[in-house]
Structure 1
Amino acid sequence: MRKFKWIFVVTLAALLLSTFTFAEVKAQDLNRMFYEARRDRDVTKIQNVIKTIEATLHFDKDTTLLTILADAYLEYGLWGISDKEKEKTYEKSRQYAEMALKLDPKNGRASYIAGAAIGRLAQYKGIVQSLFMLGDFDRYIDNAVKLLNETDEEQRLYKTFALIASGMRYRDVPWPLYNYKKSEEQLNMAAKLTPNYSNIYLELGYLYLKTGDKTKAKEMFEKVISMGPHPWLIKTHEDAVKSAQEELKKLK
């Protein structure tokens, strides 16, 4: 009888371990699929990520799956759907990111996604309402910068994203809430972290246009065009090159 109980306990432990391992592997596979979808802007692939996670039993209790799902909705809203569906999609991104943060308040990636989704949602609100959202945006983005680890490749990239978002916030919000010096500091910090990400220099170019430094703006736009893409953000780079080319035409 004791032998039977021992065999049962060992079998149960092995089953639980294999289930845990399978869940980890599934999350890794979905995260990799998300990265590929974002890299190539593959609508079908990102839809598959969303459908697979939402069909997973108890996904709402898993901070990793919720984070990937929130990220997928954020990207899907950027380039995968029509304009009339974007606001609803960003709402889902924020919702899932905040659910992930309730399970793990130290989830830096989820904190960035929540802030980025709020930033996108603010575009659909009036000036007064969007300014009320600024506090939540700052809280999430600042928290992401603090939490994300520069030594981990994935976390470093998301810290870069958070610094870019912060730089854009200080550049673009209405007076008296803008701070061009702070914007430049945040964007330059992003460039130190991920120097091969062209969008940083595109945003710096837009900043220098606002400050009236056309020479520096031109330098940044030319840098975007001359550099190669970040391997995880190829389509994003292609869009940045097109935008930089358009800005250079205006400066001639």
Structure 2
Amino acid sequence: MKKIFISLFFIILVSLNFTQDYQKLFLHANSIRSVEEMNSLIRILNTATKTSENLSILCQSLTELANWGIKDESERIKTYEKAIEYGKKAVKLNPKSYYANYVTGTAIGRLAQFKGIIESLFMLGDFDKYLKKALELNPNYSYTYIALGMRYRDVPWPLNNMNKSEEYLKKALELNPKYSNIHYELGILYEKINKKDLAKKEFEKVLTMDFHPDWIAQGKETIELVKLELKKLNEN
């Protein structure tokens, strides 16, 4: 009954033109990590006009659903692959869309993370191509810097670059200072390069911040991760 109600609610919102802003529907579903709402939005987008923007939102919706809403490994892989397919179509329709390039790159990055180091190295070129194009098209979008910061931190040597990672993450923080997860990612970076005092400072900062309205569930999850990292640092 709950699933039926949510589906009807989403359909009514769109059909009555109460809101045609699929992005807002995505942000709400993603913020609270509602599988039902995200699946409803995906169904709506699958029947919507195939514009670059709609396909981009569909790509990001599928990527986030795979990140936190799907447990079966084979299903997650299929969902990431579908997201990439829609993302590439969005870029083809509008190559100058920073958003289309960003969501396509992040979908590729998520699939690469999930598949492991060896396979991910073969996907790195595509990831870089889309994310760097997104950055070129919009140098003020903080999430592109976050994705690139994590890329340069997490890939193996000689493809990593901790200085670049720090540069990108600090720029993201400058653009989006209320997003606590950037402090967490910086903390992981500093921990990785053995700057434990700086790592501790970043982790402790997370505990003092309110949740970003677009990332409430993630914020709660990050609090628990930060507590584990601080415990580990204090024990060493």
Q: TM-score, normalised by structure 2?
A: 0.87
Asked if residue 55 in structure 1 is aligned to residue 47 in structure 2, the reply is: yes
Q: CA deviation at 1:65?
A: 1.2
Q: CA deviation at 1:72?
A: 0.7
Asked if residue 143 in structure 1 is aligned to residue 125 in structure 2, the reply is: no
Partner secondary structure for residue 133 of structure 1? helix
Asked if residue 34 in structure 1 is aligned to residue 26 in structure 2, the reply is: yes
Asked if residue 95 in structure 1 is aligned to residue 85 in structure 2, the reply is: yes
Residues 60 and 107 of structure 2 are in contact (CA less than 8 Å); yes or no, is this contact kept in structure 1?
no
Q: CA deviation at 1:231?
A: 1.6
Asked if residue 223 in structure 1 is aligned to residue 215 in structure 2, the reply is: no
Q: Where does residue 220 of structure 2 map in the other structure?
A: 238
Asked if residue 212 in structure 1 is aligned to residue 212 in structure 2, the reply is: no
What is the one-letter code of the residue matched to 1:112?
A: Y
* Structure 2 residues not aligned, in runs of 5+: 1-13
Q: Where does residue 64 of structure 1 map in the other structure?
A: 53
Query: Take 2:223 and 2:84, find their aligned partners in 1: how far apart are those partners?
Result: 29
Give a deviation string over 1:46-88, Cα, whole Å, max 9, x none: 11110111123xx33x112111111110110111111422111
* Structure 1 residues not aligned, in runs of 5+: 1-21, 151-158
Task: Provide the aligned C-alpha RMSD in A.
Answer: 1.8
Residues 87 and 100 of structure 2 are in contact (CA less than 8 Å); yes or no, is this contact kept in structure 1?
yes
Structure ID, larger Rg = 1
Q: Where does residue 191 of structure 1 map in the other structure?
A: 173
Query: Take 1:192 and 1:38, find their aligned partners in 2: how far apart are those partners?
Result: 23
Asked if residue 77 in structure 1 is aligned to residue 66 in structure 2, the reply is: yes
Change (3 A) 1:243 1:181: same
Query: Take 1:236 and 1:127, find their aligned partners in 2: how far apart are those partners?
Result: 24
Query: Take 1:227 and 1:53, find their aligned partners in 2: how far apart are those partners?
Result: 34
Q: Where does residue 120 of structure 2 map in the other structure?
A: 130
Query: Take 2:170 and 2:79, find their aligned partners in 1: how far apart are those partners?
Result: 31
Change (3 A) 1:126 1:31: closer
Identity %: 46
Q: Where does residue 154 of structure 1 map in the other structure?
A: none
Residues 144 and 162 of structure 1 are in contact (CA less than 8 Å); yes or no, is this contact kept in structure 2?
yes
The number of equivalent residue pairs is 219
Partner secondary structure for residue 28 of structure 1? coil
Query: Take 2:19 and 2:84, find their aligned partners in 1: how far apart are those partners?
Result: 20
Asked if residue 43 in structure 1 is aligned to residue 35 in structure 2, the reply is: yes
